[in-house]
């Protein structure tokens, strides 16, 4: 009997002394995440793939002060944190688009670069958690090509990088990695080892890029996170087209980017509207259709405009001018254009953030937080906009005529909700609606409140600027 008691006591001690046991990992992996659209900041729009330690800390402190009080939670460092970039002499500015040299350990696992994070990332991660925020990192699908060339071992296995790499699978806009052949032994274990490292660091959010066209690798990453012992939000980024036939695999993540990179122009807004139609009804708690970051405020901080460049040229035009000798040769860096304030008009800004609210798209701020202008800050922290977004219902198109689109989002467990009346044309529109156009039985039974102009009385007659919007809250009397 004493022997049995000792065995039981030892079993309890062992079970409670190893928090990363398989049982504990299983329990942690089923904790529900992203029950509402995630909110945070991502460094790409403002710093491209060139965020450095000083800028990261400045944005983190500003994030905690300006955005955290309104529910923004995730502080995400985008690509490049592992790159040993060549720099313009005497500066922190990059001299190459993507780093030719990556820093990784003896198992091919990426490490913070000496160039931009000489003190590592741990102090940033720890500060993030101290501030009550969650930390995120960007990763590219696969394994570094340099690690394959060195044929590093896969941690905890008898396999090596060359055993698992698919050398025919290369991202067409970033050649740093090879994809993995998930039919090969050791491939899943590589992703497991990478996610285990992320868990050890304290990462809460993973943005995986160039992965959406490869559903087997999506599943592999999701499985790797499930076994690592730390809950992490998984954000899937395309790197190519998004095939709705792979929705089951995508739903193993929490966010699915369905747009290309969205910037501060009408083209990006139009692309978001197209994807809203295409993916309507696919969001649900724990899985959100993502329309990319919010390009408000100061953008492209690490990409200075060269002499002779206006800033509105296309990449082709710039390359042609360099080829002809009209411009001196310079490196075209990651992102779009050069350092600037967002070029959205005021109406485009209202349209952009209204669309994000009604579509329940994750709200990931992209502009530089310390220098953020008052209008941008007021829009992304507006109480009613946030209530609509965090309501977690993707609105539907209920009216379309003469360039006017009306999208309607009902409030959960309520007869109230929100409406966006969007002018999708380049001319001012005057419109008189009937109650049935908004799905109402009568005008008398509903009260309309103008979200962006609360003091303005709202009836069923609207004058909407080009590419503008009327954002309304409706309340059943």
Q: What is the mean pLDDT of residues 317-324?
A: 91
Domain boundary among 394, 410, 435: 394
Under DSSP, the state recorded for 154 is: P
**300 and 279 belong to one structural domain:** yes
Domain boundary among 350, 367, 394: 394
Higher-scoring residue by pLDDT: 2, 470: 470
**Is the predicted pLDDT of residue 2 greater than 50, yes or no?**
no
Query: Quick one: pLDDT at residue 239?
Result: 65
Residue 7 lies in a domain: no
Residue 356 lies in a domain: yes
Model confidence band, residue 246 (pLDDT cutoffs 50, 70, 90): very high
Residue 1 lies in a domain: no
**Is the predicted pLDDT of residue 232 greater than 90, yes or no?**
yes
Integer Cα distance of 434 and 416 in angstroms: 18
**Is the predicted pLDDT of residue 15 greater than 70, yes or no?**
no
Instruction: List the one residue out of 140, 215, 217, 194 whose CA is nearest residue 172.
Output: 140
Instruction: Identify the residue whose tokens are 């109480």.
Output: 383
Integer Cα distance of 138 and 259 in angstroms: 17
Instruction: Identify the residue whose tokens are 């360099």.
Output: 322
Query: Quick one: pLDDT at residue 313?
Result: 86
pLDDT tens for 135-167 read: 999 999 999 999 999 999 999 999 999 999 999
Integer Cα distance of 33 and 170 in angstroms: 31
Q: What is the mean pLDDT of residues 37-66?
A: 98
The count of other CB atoms within 10 Å of the CB of residue 222 is: 22
Q: Phi, psi at residue 475, to the nearest 5°?
A: -130, 125
**Is the predicted pLDDT of residue 187 greater than 90, yes or no?**
yes
Q: Which of 18-32, 33-47, 323-337, 380-394 has the lowest mean pLDDT?
A: 18-32
Query: Quick one: pLDDT at residue 460?
Result: 87
Query: 255-257 and 233-236: which strand pairing?
Result: parallel
pLDDT tens for 268-283 read: 999 999 999 999 999 9
Model confidence band, residue 312 (pLDDT cutoffs 50, 70, 90): confident
**422 and 292 belong to one structural domain:** no
Q: What is the mean pLDDT of residues 343-358?
A: 98
β-bridge mates for residue 40, sequence order: 74, 364
Integer Cα distance of 152 and 159 in angstroms: 9
**123 and 186 belong to one structural domain:** yes
Q: Which of 2-16, 79-93, 217-231, 454-468 has the lowest mean pLDDT?
A: 2-16
**109 and 246 belong to one structural domain:** yes
Domain extent at residue 183: 23-304+339-394
Domain boundary among 354, 372, 394: 394
Integer Cα distance of 188 and 216 in angstroms: 10
Model confidence band, residue 439 (pLDDT cutoffs 50, 70, 90): confident
Model confidence band, residue 457 (pLDDT cutoffs 50, 70, 90): low
Residue 12 lies in a domain: no
**461 and 389 belong to one structural domain:** no
**418 and 434 belong to one structural domain:** yes
Q: How large a percentage of the chain has pLDDT more than 70?
A: 92
**106 and 124 belong to one structural domain:** yes
Q: What is the mean pLDDT of residues 310-320?
A: 89
pLDDT tens for 190-217 read: 999 999 999 999 999 999 999 999 999 9
| Sign of the alpha-carbon torsion through 48, 54, 57, 60 | negative
Query: Quick one: pLDDT at residue 455?
Result: 76
Q: What is the mean pLDDT of residues 258-277?
A: 97
CATH of the domain at 453: 2.60.40.1180
Q: Which of 287-296, 409-418, 436-445 has the lowest mean pLDDT?
A: 436-445
**407 and 359 belong to one structural domain:** no
Query: Quick one: pLDDT at residue 233?
Result: 98
Instruction: List the one residue out of 360, 230, 190, 221 whose CA is nearest residue 289.
Output: 360
Question: What is the model's pTM?
Answer: 0.92
pLDDT tens for 52-78 read: 999 999 999 999 999 999 999 999 999
Strands (E), 387-459: 396-401, 404-410, 417-423, 429-432, 446-450
> 3-state SS of the chain: helix, strand, coil percent to 5?
35, 20, 45
Establish how many alpha carbons lie within 13 A of residue 10's alpha carbon, considering only the half-sphere containing its beta carbon: 6
Domain count, the chain: 2
**Is the predicted pLDDT of residue 434 greater than 70, yes or no?**
yes
Under DSSP, the state recorded for 65 is: H
Integer Cα distance of 180 and 251 in angstroms: 21
**375 and 410 belong to one structural domain:** no
3-state SS, residue 23: helix
Query: Quick one: pLDDT at residue 29?
Result: 44
Q: What is the mean pLDDT of residues 291-295?
A: 98
CATH of the domain at 147: 3.20.20.70
């Amino acid at each position: 009997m004493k022997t049995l008691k000792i065995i039981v006591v030892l079993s309890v001690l062992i079970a409670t002394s190893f928090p990363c046991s398989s049982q504990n990992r299983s329990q942690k992996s089923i904790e529900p995440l992203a029950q509402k659209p995630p909110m945070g900041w991502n460094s790409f729009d403002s710093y491209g793939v060139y965020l450095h330690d000083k800028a990261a800390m400045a944005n983190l402190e500003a994030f905690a002060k300006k955005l955290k009080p309104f529910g923004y939670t995730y502080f995400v460092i985008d690509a490049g944190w592992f790159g040993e970039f060549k720099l313009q002499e005497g500066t922190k500015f990059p001299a190459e688009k993507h780093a030719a040299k990556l820093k990784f350990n003896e198992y091919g696992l990426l490490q913070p670069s000496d160039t931009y994070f000489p003190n590592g990332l741990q102090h940033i991660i720890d500060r993030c958690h101290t501030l009550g925020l969650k930390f995120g990192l960007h990763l590219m699908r696969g394994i570094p090509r340099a690690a394959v060339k060195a044929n590093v071992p896969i941690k905890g296995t008898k396999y090596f990088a060359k055993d698992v790499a698919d050398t025919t699978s290369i991202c067409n806009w970033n050649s740093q990695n090879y994809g993995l052949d998930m039919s090969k032994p050791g491939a899943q274990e590589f992703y497991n080892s990478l996610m285990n490292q992320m868990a050890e660091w304290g990462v809460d959010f993973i943005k995986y890029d160039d992965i959406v066209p490869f559903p087997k690798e999506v599943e592999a990453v999701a499985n790797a996170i499930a076994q690592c012992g730390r809950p992490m939000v998984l954000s899937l980024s395309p790197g190519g087209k998004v095939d709705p036939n792979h929705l089951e695999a995508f739903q193993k993540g929490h966010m699915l980017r369905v747009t290309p990179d969205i910037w501060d122009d009408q083209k990006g807004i139009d692309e978001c509207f197209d994807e809203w139609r295409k993916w309507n009804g696919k969001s649900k708690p724990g899985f959100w259709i993502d329309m990319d970051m919010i390009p408000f405020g100061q953008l492209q901080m690490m990409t200075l405009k060269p002499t002779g460049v206006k800033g509105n040229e296309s990449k082709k035009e710039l390359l042609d001018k360099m080829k002809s000798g009209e411009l001196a040769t310079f490196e075209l860096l990651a992102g779009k254009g050069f350092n600037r304030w967002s070029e959205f008009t005021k109406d485009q800004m209202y349209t952009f953030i209204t669309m994000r609210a009604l579509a329940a798209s994750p709200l990931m701020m992209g502009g530089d937080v310390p220098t953020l202008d008052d209008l941008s800050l007021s829009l992304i922290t507006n109480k009613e906009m946030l209530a609509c977004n965090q309501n977690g219902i993707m609105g539907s198109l209920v009216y379309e005529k003469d360039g006017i689109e009306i999208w309607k989002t009902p409030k959960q467990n309520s007869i109230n909700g929100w409406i966006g009346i969007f002018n999708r044309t380049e001319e001012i529109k005057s419109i008189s609606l009937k109650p049935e156009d908004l799905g109402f039985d009568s005008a008398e039974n509903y009260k309309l409140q103008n979200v962006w102009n609360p003091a303005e009385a709202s009836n069923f007659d609207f004058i909407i600027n080009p590419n503008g919007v009327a954002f309304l809250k409706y309340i059943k009397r």
